[in-house]
Amino acid sequence: MDEINVKTILSGVQPTGILTIGNYIGAIQNWKLLENEYKCIYPIVDLHSLTVRQDPKQFKDLCISMLAQYLACGLDAKKNILFFQSHVRQHTELAWLLSCHTYLGELSRMTQFKEKSEKHRDNINAGLFTYPILQAADILLYQACKVPVGEDQKQHLELARDIAIRFNNIYGKTFVVPEPHVPQMGARIMSLQEPSNKMSKSDTNINGTIFLLDSDKVTLKKIKRAVTDNKNRISYNDNQLGIKNLMTIYMTLTKESIREIEEKYTDKGYGAFKNDLAEIVVENLRPVREKYAELMDNKDYLVSIYKDGAEKAGEIAENTMKKVRDNIGLIK
């Protein structure tokens, strides 16, 4: 089958820590809904993580942990292709070819480069600057028509689209031009302490982030400490960002509507709401934590998953690269 005609959706996450409830609600739960409609490809993008210095032993553990977290969250390895980016050599091959079709000015406009350069002033390396080209290669290599993307990654997806269009115009139709796939609900979970900022696993304030592997006690404490306001009114609006964020978590985990939640807590304050939300979150995350522990005790199974995933991904990637090499004029 010609991979260019297959509806493929792709998204990658760096193995730099424990996934958050924001990743779970905003990404993985939505990915599960796509399993029967798309060919779903989810690389663990370990090469992207190397723009920051990593401890080798710890990094290996983080990579395996990320795969186990994916599976613990319910991703079906039979319906999704899960693998490590570094195990498919075509990622870096295509990245070099695309770098020859990407302009310096395009890369210099990337806001994430500017932000990360501020954070890592002692290590502003070339990889940090060319990172979006490898990201474009990740997407275009699999002819992905859709890419689940948050607001912070839209600029990178636009660059991938521009590169694909440019390449197609020069060498003929080679790549599918990807479109963003933004879920309507739960796509952006905010920090519990700074609800104007997205929840992040790298947040220096750990109270702002609920991690999937947090204990029940820690989860309860973080939700009860979540920033709200002095209105004590359960209402979903932009003037109450803290409670709006908590309601988004409640809504996506229970499938109750905004109106149902508002009516349920009409005569109740934030304390009652937070107590109930904490129980809902704990009950949803406890099975994930238990499954994760089970998977981490079965490393042979995890190895079989990432090897099988890399083999499947490699076949698709090589089909694309044969076309790229031929179109660009490289000798077989």
Question: d(Cα 159, Cα 12) in Å, to the nearest integer?
Answer: 16
Q: Report pLDDT for 185.
A: 57
Catalytic residue among 39, 57, 114, 116: 116
CB-CB neighbours of 133 under 10 Å: 25
Q: Is 324 left (phi over 0), alpha (psi -120 to 50) or beta?
A: alpha
116 is catalytic: yes
Q: Report pLDDT for 3.
A: 45
CB-CB neighbours of 323 under 10 Å: 19
- CATH architecture of the domain 206-293 equals Orthogonal Bundle (1.10)
67 vs 109, residue with greater confidence: 67
Percentage of the chain lying above the pLDDT 70 cut: 94
Burial-class residue 239 by CB neighbours within 10 Å (0-12, 13-18, 19+): exposed
Q: Phi and psi for 185 in degrees, rounded to 5?
A: -130, 140
Q: Report pLDDT for 109.
A: 87
Burial-class residue 97 by CB neighbours within 10 Å (0-12, 13-18, 19+): middle
* 314 token code pair: 């490699």
Task: Spell out the residues 6+ positions from residue 7 whose beta carbon is closer than 8 angstroms to its own.
Answer: 37, 38, 39, 145, 146
Domain ranges of the chain: 3-186+299-328, 206-293
Q: Report pLDDT for 291.
A: 97
* 200 token code pair: 């992040």
307 is catalytic: no
pLDDT tens across 90-126, in order?
Answer: 999 999 999 999 999 999 888 777 677 677 677 788 8
Asked whether residue 57 carries a pLDDT value surpassing 50, the answer given is: yes
Q: Is the dihedral of CA 125, 126, 131, 132 positive or negative?
A: positive
Radius of gyration of the chain (CA): 21
* 109 token code pair: 């406009």
CB 243 within 8 A of CB 235: yes
N-terminal to C-terminal alpha carbon distance within the chain? 21
Q: How far is CA 127 from the centre of its chain?
A: 20
Q: Report pLDDT for 4.
A: 46
What mean pLDDT value characterizes the chain?
Answer: 92
Question: d(Cα 75, Cα 77) in Å, to the nearest integer?
Answer: 6
What secondary structure does DSSP assign to 211-279, as a single string? BTT--HHHHHHHHHT----SS-----STT-HHHHHHHHHHHHHH---HHHHHHHTTT--HHHHHHHHHH
Alpha-helix residue ranges (DSSP H) falling in the chain: 21-23, 29-33, 56-72, 90-99, 104-108, 111-119, 126-140, 154-171, 216-224, 241-254, 258-264, 270-296, 299-328
Burial-class residue 35 by CB neighbours within 10 Å (0-12, 13-18, 19+): middle
Catalytic residue among 7, 32, 198, 264: 198
Question: d(Cα 104, Cα 114) in Å, to the nearest integer?
Answer: 14
Q: Phi and psi for 179 in degrees, rounded to 5?
A: -115, 150
Catalytic residue among 32, 201, 291, 312: 201
Q: What does DSSP say about strands 8-10 and 39-44: parallel, antiparallel, or unpaired?
A: parallel
CB 220 within 8 A of CB 282: yes
pLDDT tens across 242-285, in order?
Answer: 999 999 999 999 999 999 999 999 989 999 999 999 999 999 99
Tell the CATH topology of 3-186+299-328: Rossmann fold (3.40.50)
CB 175 within 8 A of CB 144: no
201 is catalytic: yes
Question: d(Cα 261, Cα 273) in Å, to the nearest integer?
Answer: 9
Does the pTM of the predicted model rise above 0.85?
yes
Q: Report pLDDT for 186.
A: 56
